[in-house]
Structure 1
Amino acid sequence: MLKKAVIVTTLLCLTSCGVVYQGVQSGMTSVNESQMLRQGRYGSLTEQELEWAQIAWTYVENNTNLTTGLVNAIDNYPTTNLSNLADYLIALMAAREFEFITSKEHDERLTMVLTFLNEMPLGLTGVPNKVYSTVHGQMVDYGGQPGELGWSSIDIGRLLIALAMVKQRNPEFSEYVDKAVLRWNFCELVTEEGELYGGAINNGNVFRYKEGRLGIEEYTAYGYLDWQIVPEKAMLLDPYEVVTINGIDLLFDGRDPRDYDVLRPVYSTPYLLLGLEFNWDKIDDRQSSDAKHTNQVLSAMADSVYRIQESRWDIDRIYTARGEHVVTGEPYFVYDSIYALGTPWITVAEDGSDHDEKALVSTRVAFQMWVLWKTDYTNRLMTLVRELYDPDRGWYEGRYELTSSYEKSISLQTNAGVLEALLYKANGKLYQPTKEREYRDVQFDSRFYHPQKCMVETFR
């Protein structure tokens, strides 16, 4: 059923020849025409900005387990997933850049993460589990009890992006990153049609399902592309639909939830990460201008996501910076959507239930919008969120839209997101492609190396 993934012979051809975005042009005209000339915020951090970054790093220091080197996803709760591990790696890059830690401490922290990745137990299908204990590094369920849940190709894709950036900044660790990733069975992550699949495990039985939605799939596909695996179908925007909000066209996932059992909220996170990490460029693009974006479709979509939120302030005088976030009490985690379930500005849980009273002006999203769009509106957002922290614990999730009260949950995603935004301000886009020959290239080229894990073919 599964076959080895297609080699990236030339990523430029994939996009320019229409393989990745075939069938997208119809219906995209108004979105492309809406693209603004974007100006971000750049330059060395001010004293105030360094203080903001230090507050975020305090979360990491407080929540690092010294035995495993892993960081809690939620304050004082000893579990993590692979997307959270990516958050930590990016936070670690920022801490070293801003000199919050020494070179030796950076080496020790990174070494512990790579040791975990090379030794961590894999699931029944040979891929990482969704959740691990930060105390002992074993597979656990959402309650922190021993058990195997299954896997997330989306979380793994995000981790692959972070690991690529680790190698670019620390080429001396490239071998150890590659050895960890080569352990994984990519047959379970990317199908022969190029779709991303997750899995659930119940009583030893494996249930596979198509994972992701518009925006998230396109973002996490970059992680697989870095490994020369082309998830072609995940990179296609089709099927999509268009809704107009405040005169601005917005693309959303066109799959029928009755057929695909997929929640389809449109929210900021994937588009912000595409900007911070790739500048909305193609993966092999080495140009440095923030005003030019070689992945014009995703750049235009990101502008729509931003401009609609800005327009809500202009028209309704409601501050808006919408992402996914933790909440105190049930349902514990929600998506603050720009559009979902046929409705603008709805907050939904994973089960599709609505919780509009839980909508936040997200601290993380406000910071990331602020560095990516230099506008009066993002200045206003930062004024609204810049006091949302505990100096001894880190940044809060955000401020409630309805009441202005704080959501005082504190998470790795939010604090790492603040650090990532400030690292972007200091350095520009985080992913910088390299042509250096790596350990994995040697393995791929060797006729004696047969991973049988649906990696790239061994001839090029």
Structure 2
Amino acid sequence: MKLFMKILKKLIIVIIATNIIIPHFIEISFCQKMEDNIKNEINEWIEWAKIAWRYFEPGVGVDKNTGLHRASLYWNAFTDWDLGGYLITILYAEKIGLINREGEWGADKRIEKVLDFLERRELKEDGIAYSGYDMNGKPLYSTSITNPSDSGRLLIALYMIKKYKPYFSSRIDNIVYKKHNYKKIAMDNEAWKTTSDFYAYYVAHGFKFFNFDNYTPVANALNEINSMRNREKVDVYGIKLPKADITMEPLLHIIFELEPNEEIMNYAYKIYLAQELRYKNTKRYTAWSEGNAPRPAHAPVRAPWYVYEWIVLRDGRTWIITPKQIIPVTYTKAAIGLHALFNTNYTKNMVDYIIKNFELLDLDLENGFFEGINDAGEIVLERIDKTNTLIIEAAYYAIKKLTEKTHKLNIQNIKKIYTLGEGIEIKLNFSGIELPYPHNHIWEIGIYNGSEKIIEEKHITEKHNVTLAYNIENGGLYNLSCKMAIDYNGCNSSIYNSTNILIYSAQIFSIKAPLIANINESIKIVANIKYDLYTKDLGNIGIPLQLKIINRENNQTLVINQTKPLNGSGIIPINFIIRAPSIEKNLGLAIESYYKINDEWVHDKTGWRKEFDIKIVKQNITQTEIYILKYETIKETKTIIKTITEKFETIKTIIKTSEYLNNLIIILIGLLIIAIISILSAITMIKGRKIYRV
């Protein structure tokens, strides 16, 4: 039987250990595997971004002399839409770490070359830009002018540069407000008829950022999302979408460049689902946008084969391509953009399908990504700026989102309760996958008492952790709020954490006791205690105070009083009665205040103890005698002050009339000694005549 019990005990221990240790190791293994998968995904996004950036290298898509880019390897020119896209690409390439800020072809130099062009480019007489310029900065067409869409995208790019690189702000403001006449475009109703719905909503933000949103066409465009909300819906493979001009291009720009609200993200998800359902019904990958289509063999190189693929049109038609019907194209930029947004099996398989087809045909990606693949399996061999711009934007969005999944901000070494005067040491620790490019950690710490800000600090460091120490002067319930932002070129990825701190306090606010008492007299003493004892968060009904009166001569406790449990803050009077000694003496006393934490009586670091004296005498002192003593003290004090004043007046007279410096110095020293003696006499007399302490 004993052997059986021993075996049973060991078996129970093994079972308990198994249930505790094995799940712990499984959890660690799962977390490690998840982190490894995320790292692999990040590396993949970085590789795609590097391929896309090849298009913008000098000598490929960017002119080595002017620093201006071209919209396509087949078209050595650009529109303002394209130019805005190039500026945004520079910003995102720097954020990812594809280029540095400094250097001949660093981000700032590239931006400066574009700003130089915008400051000096030729415009129409009314300050409106031409529709296109070549890589030397010359207008392409003498009669064709730009439009709200192209202008709006350029304005968005200029605003983003102001935001992330404010040292360019004055130049940009001059370009927008003085060089160009964007006001005329903002108020041109006819011009705004060339854009609609998500496109209009997107480009209108550029005008809004520079305060042109008070013009009706811009205001109407900014209201497009609200307008779509109330429109009739169209059924697209079971997904209800509004009657609107819908394609992926403007939605991706809104999400990657602006600050989309929940409604925009819901639209994006529904539009994504409609495309996935088309794939399930047709077995054709679907990522519709705008871009180039395969050119027929007989078509000239410059033939207009740029198309727009509409999932829905305003008239309710679905899956329409304009300006000419072609075999639908699955665009590389739209597929990768959807993958950045939703990261589903469908988006992953679609991106793999496109890239593997490029590899199978041994296509060279040294100059960036190709446009895409049509439903017949043909590769669209064009390479353009818009495709590679969106891929770089998508890469940054995805990298940021993936790393944030693993980020944690831990508040360590913090206690729930502190005593007043006790130093508070806080350790903040960041954990998770780091962004794959140089960055700082910006630590922001705030300590609040309700809405009142007690402490606010900001620390910028490369370290993953900081240790901070504080000493708060008053008791109470405080909230410690921490924010850690991973900062790279003004683009923040932030995480938050907060906790409550209780600082208990029981301070002796005042003591009322007589200065003189008769021998064997009952002496009443009142101690007013200012307390801060918040206990609701701890589930307690309250905390009692304990006060002691101590005889300082022998450190003996004369009396102990304890209050009922307290919760909150306030001032409470506590009464004591002690018996005076039977002999004349100076009775030295002290009052000490305590409160209970975890069944222990503790006290503040300061303000918890006050000492005072009571003179014990034989004779009785009547109230009338007290008043006489008070009167005489005040009278004699006034006399001393008057004497001191007269002495100083004498000093002034002597200074004015004295002829010899030596005599003056001797007189001044003598009068100063008289003044000091008089002041000390006054203080001594006043102290000797005090009767009550309050």
Does TM, normalized by the shorter one, top 0.5? yes
Does the 8 Å CA contact 2:42/2:399 hold for their aligned counterparts? no
| Aligned 8 A contact 2:164 2:489 in 1 | no
Once the two structures are overlaid, the 10-residue window that deviates more, 272-281 or 420-429, is 420-429
Matched-pair contact (CA < 8 Å) for 1:43–1:426? no
State the shift of 1:112 in Å: 0.2
The question of whether the paired residues in 2 share the 8 Å contact of 1:196 and 1:211 is answered with no
Code of the aligned partner of 1:151: T
- Whole-Å Cα distance in 2 between the matches of residues 95 and 332 of structure 1? 29
Aligned position for 2:456: none
Partner of 2:108: 107
Q: Does the residue aligned with 2:243 lie in a helix, a strand or coil?
A: strand
Question: Is 1:361 the counterpart of 2:350 in the alignment?
Answer: no
Q: Counterpart of 1:382?
A: 351
Quote the residue 1:117 is aligned against.
118
Give the Cα separation in 1 of the matches to 2:172 and 2:232: 39
Equivalences for 1:61-460 in 2 at 5 Å?
61=57, 62-102=60-100, 103-104=102-103, 105-134=106-135, 136-141=136-141, 147-182=142-177, 183-191=179-187, 197-198=190-191, 210-230=193-213, 231-237=218-224, 238=227, 240-253=231-244, 265-281=245-261, 293=262, 296=263, 298-327=264-293, 328=295, 329=299, 330-340=303-313, 342-349=316-323, 354-357=324-327, 359-387=328-356, 388=358, 390-401=364-375, 403-427=376-400
Q: Is the 8 A contact 1:214 1:252 kept in 2?
A: no
Hey, what does 2:12 align to over in structure 1? Answer: none
CA distance in 2, matches of 1:356, 1:224: 34
> 2:201 touches 2:221 (CA, 8 Å); kept in 1?
yes
C-alpha distance 432-210 of structure 1, shift in aligned 2 (>3 A): farther
Q: 1:379 to 1:279 in 2, by over 3 A?
A: farther
Task: Give the 3-state SS of the residue equivalent to 1:109 in structure 2.
Answer: helix
* Structure 1 residues 119 and 55: CA distance shift in structure 2, 3 A: same
Please list the CA deviations of residues 73-103 of structure 1 after superposition, one character each: whole Å capped at 9, or x if unmatched: 0114210011111111122123223333332
The amino acid of 1:344's aligned partner reads T
Amino acid at match of 1:233: N
- Distance apart, 1:153 and its partner CA: 0.9
1:148 partner SS: coil
Q: Does structure 2 conserve the Cα–Cα contact (< 8 Å) formed by 1:88 and 1:412?
A: yes
2:64 aligned counterpart, secondary structure: coil
Deviation of 1:409 after TM superposition, in Å, equals 0.6
Structure 1 residues 432 and 224: CA distance shift in structure 2, 3 A: farther
* Structure 2 match to 1:50: 46
Structure-2 separation of matches of 1:317 and 1:277: 32
Gaps of 5+ in 1: 1-40, 142-146, 199-208, 254-264, 282-292, 435-460
Displacement, 1:252?
2.8
Partner SS state of residue 150, structure 1: coil
Structure 1 residues 69 and 217: alpha-carbon distance in aligned structure 2, compared to 1, 3 A threshold: same
Give the distance between the partners of 1:132 and 1:212, measured in 2 at CA.
22
What amino acid sits opposite 1:248 in the alignment? I
More displaced stretch, 101-110 vs 152-161: 101-110
Cα distance in 1 between the residues matched to 2:108 and 2:149: 28
State the structure with bigger RCO (CA 8 A, min sep 6), 1 or 2.
Answer: 1
How far apart, CA to CA, are the structure 2 residues paired with 1:165 and 1:43? 29
Q: Number of aligned pairs?
A: 344
The residue identity in structure 2 corresponding to 1:139 is P
SS in 2 for 1:372: helix
Deviation track 1:382-434 (CA, whole Å, cap 9, x = no partner) reads 11223446322210000111x11210011000011111111222346999899
1:186 is aligned with what amino acid?
Y
Look up the match of 1:447. none
Change (3 A) 1:43 1:197: farther
Greater fraction strand: 2
Query: Larger C-alpha radius of gyration, 1 or 2?
Result: 2
CA offsets per residue over residues 104-152 of structure 1, 9 Å max, x none?
2222211101111111111233122111111x202113xxxxx231121
Q: TM-score, normalised by structure 1?
A: 0.69
Q: Given residue 66 of structure 2, which amino acid in structure 1 is its aligned partner?
A: T
Match of 2:84, as an amino acid?
A
- Displacement after TM superposition at 1:368 (Å): 0.7
Residue equivalent to 1:28: none
C-alpha separation between the residues in 1 aligned to 2:38 and 2:143? 43
In structure 2, relative to structure 1, the CA distance for the partners of 1:431 and 1:98 (3 Å cut) is closer
In 2: Cα distance, 1:59 partner to 1:324 partner: 19
Secondary structure of 1:249 counterpart = strand
1:454 corresponds in structure 2 to none
Measured in 1, the distance between the counterparts of 2:236 and 2:128 equals 40
Report the Cα distance in structure 1 between the residues aligned to 2:370 and 2:38, rounded to whole angstroms.
Answer: 25
Residue 164 of structure 2 aligns to which amino acid in structure 1?
Answer: R
Partner of 1:36: none
Secondary structure at the counterpart of residue 155 of structure 1:
helix
**Cα distance per residue 1:354-402 (max 9 Å; x no partner):** 3132x2110000111111112222112211223446322210000111x
SS of match in other structure, 2:186: coil
Secondary structure (helix, strand or coil) at the match of 2:241 reads strand
TM-score (norm 2): 0.47
Offset at residue 70 of structure 1 (A): 0.9
Task: Say whether the 8 Å CA contact 2:164–2:490 is kept in structure 1.
Answer: no
Q: Name the aligned partner's letter for residue 270 of structure 1.
A: P
Give the match for residue 606 of structure 2. none
Q: What's the offset of the Cα at 1:162?
A: 1.4
Counterpart secondary structure, 2:235 = strand
Q: Deviations over 1:12-69 (max 9, x none)?
A: xxxxxxxxxxxxxxxxxxxxxxxxxxxxx99897333222111111111111112321
**How many angstroms apart in 2 are the aligned matches of 1:303 and 1:228?**
31
Q: Determine the C-alpha separation between the residues in 1 that align with 2:235 and 2:112.
A: 48
Task: Please tell me whether the aligned partners of residues 45 and 425 of structure 1 are also in contact (alpha carbons under 8 angstroms).
Answer: no
TM-superposed CA distance for 1:219, in Å, is 1.0
Q: Distance in 2 between matches of 1:155 and 1:241?
A: 29
The answer as to whether partners of 1:189 and 1:197 remain within 8 angstroms in 2 is no
Distance in 1, matches of 2:288 and 2:79, equals: 22
Change (3 A) 1:364 1:342: same
CA distance in 2, matches of 1:44, 1:153: 41
User: Counterparts of 1:173 and 1:323 in 2: how far apart (Å)?
Assistant: 33
> In 2, distance between residues paired with 1:96 and 1:380?
29
Decide whether the 8 Å contact of 1:91 with 1:416 is kept in 2: yes
Aligned partners of 1:91 and 1:310: how far apart in 2? 28
What runs of 5+ residues in structure 2 fail to find an aligned partner?
A: 1-36, 405-487, 493-694
